[in-house]
Amino acid sequence: MNKKTIIVIVTLLIAIPLFLLKSSNINYKEEYPELKVSSPNSIIINDTVYSFFRKFKLNVEAYGYESKTIEFNHRDSDKEIILIEKPINVVFKINDTYDKFILNNKVLNSLDNIKLKKGAHSYEITSNNHLTYKSNFEIEKYTDELLIPVILKKIDKSLQISSNPNNAKVFLNNTELGVTPLTINLDRSNNEIILKKAGYKEKKVKYFVNDNNKSEINYLLDEDENLISLSSNPPSASVFLDDEYIGITPIKFPNIKKGTIKIKKYGYRDKLISPNNQTKTISTTLEKDMAEVQFSSNVPAKVILNGRYIGSTPLKKDIQKIKHKISYEALGHRSIRESFEPLNDKVQIYKNLLTDKQASLIDSKNNSTNSIGSKLILMNPGSITMGSPKRESRRDINELQKKVKITKHFFISKNLITENQYKKFKKSTSASNLPVNNVSWIDAAKFCNWLSRKEGLDQFYIIKGDRLLYFNTKSNGYRLPTEAEWEYAAKSNNPTQGELIYAWGSDRQIRKLVGNIADQTTEGILANFVPDYDDGYLERSPVGSFRSNQNGLNDITGNLSEWVNDFYSIEIIDPSEIFTDYIGPTVGTTHVIKGSNHYSSTPLQLGLSYRTYGNAENELIGFRIARWIY
Between 626 and 11, whose confidence is greater? 626
Look at residue 228 in the predicted model and tell me its pLDDT.
84
DSSP letter at 18?
Answer: G
How far apart CA 180 and CA 162 sit, in angstroms, is: 5
Instruction: Give phi and psi for 486, each to the nearest 5.
Output: -65, -50
Query: Which amino acid, one-letter code, is at 117?
Result: K
Look at residue 5 in the predicted model and tell me its pLDDT.
54
Mean pLDDT, residues 505-515: 90
Task: Please give the span between the terminal C-alpha atoms of the chain, in angstroms, as a whole number.
Answer: 135
Instruction: Name the pairing type of β-strands 621-623 and 561-567.
Output: parallel
Range of weakest confidence among 18-32, 397-411, 452-466:
18-32
Residue 358, pLDDT above cutoff 90: no
Query: Model confidence over 159-194: pLDDT tens digits?
Result: 999 999 999 999 999 999 999 999 999 999 999 999
Provide the pLDDT confidence category of residue 630 given band limits of 50, 70 and 90.
confident
How far apart CA 297 and CA 557 sit, in angstroms, is: 49
Instruction: Give phi and psi for 505, each to the nearest 5.
Output: 145, -145
Cβ within 8 Å of residue 127, ≥6 positions away: 96, 97, 98, 99, 100, 152, 189
Cβ within 8 Å of residue 355, ≥6 positions away: 332, 333, 334
Look at residue 6 in the predicted model and tell me its pLDDT.
56
Of 20-24, 54-58, 123-127, give the range with the top mean pLDDT.
123-127
Residue 226, pLDDT above cutoff 90: no
3-class DSSP assignment, residue 143 = coil
CA nearest to 149, candidates 87, 101, 95: 95
Domains and CATH numbers, the chain: 22-81 (no CATH), 88-150 (no CATH), 157-220 (2.60.40.1120), 227-285 (no CATH), 290-353 (2.60.40.1120)
CA nearest to 134, candidates 104, 93, 95: 104
Residue 22, pLDDT above cutoff 90: no
Look at residue 580 in the predicted model and tell me its pLDDT.
96
Mean pLDDT, residues 297-322: 96
Residue 11, pLDDT above cutoff 90: no
Look at residue 224 in the predicted model and tell me its pLDDT.
77
In order, the DSSP letters of 502-564 are: BTTBS-S---S--SB---GGGBTTBS---TT---S-SS---TT-S---TTS-S-SSBS-EEEE
pTM summary value: 0.56
CA nearest to 411, candidates 463, 485, 471: 485
Query: Model confidence over 463-473: pLDDT tens digits?
Result: 999 999 999 99
307-344 burial string, b = 16+ CB within 10 Å, else e? Answer: eeeeeebebeeebebeeeebbbbbeebbebeeebebee
Contact 205, 173 (CB under 8 A): no
Residue 409, pLDDT above cutoff 90: yes
How far apart CA 586 and CA 17 sit, in angstroms, is: 168
126-155 burial string, b = 16+ CB within 10 Å, else e? Answer: bbebbbbbeeeeeeeebeeeeeeeeebeeb
Provide the pLDDT confidence category of residue 578 given band limits of 50, 70 and 90.
very high
pLDDT more than 90, % of the chain: 73
Residue 19, pLDDT above cutoff 80: no
Taking only Cα atoms into account, the Rg of the chain, rounded to an integer number of angstroms, comes to: 57
> Which residues are 552's β-sheet partners?
none
In order, the DSSP letters of 412-461 are: EESSPPBHHHHHTT-TTS--SSSBP-S--HHHHHHHHHHHHHHTT---SE
Query: Which amino acid, one-letter code, is at 596?
Result: S
How far apart CA 540 and CA 50 sit, in angstroms, is: 143
Provide the pLDDT confidence category of residue 59 given band limits of 50, 70 and 90.
very high
Instruction: Give phi and psi for 15, each to the nearest 5.
Output: -80, -35
Provide the pLDDT confidence category of residue 560 given band limits of 50, 70 and 90.
very high
Provide the pLDDT confidence category of residue 300 given band limits of 50, 70 and 90.
very high
In degrees to the nearest 10, what's the CA dihedral of 542, 548, 552, 555?
-50
Question: ∠ CA(316), CA(318), CA(324), 5° rounding?
Answer: 105
Query: Model confidence over 343-357: pLDDT tens digits?
Result: 999 999 999 999 988
Provide the pLDDT confidence category of residue 600 given band limits of 50, 70 and 90.
very high
Residue 210, pLDDT above cutoff 60: yes
Mean pLDDT, residues 541-553: 96
Look at residue 20 in the predicted model and tell me its pLDDT.
75
How far apart CA 228 and CA 277 sit, in angstroms, is: 10
How far apart CA 113 and CA 91 sit, in angstroms, is: 8
Contact 52, 18 (CB under 8 A): no
Mean pLDDT over each residue of the chain, to the nearest integer: 91
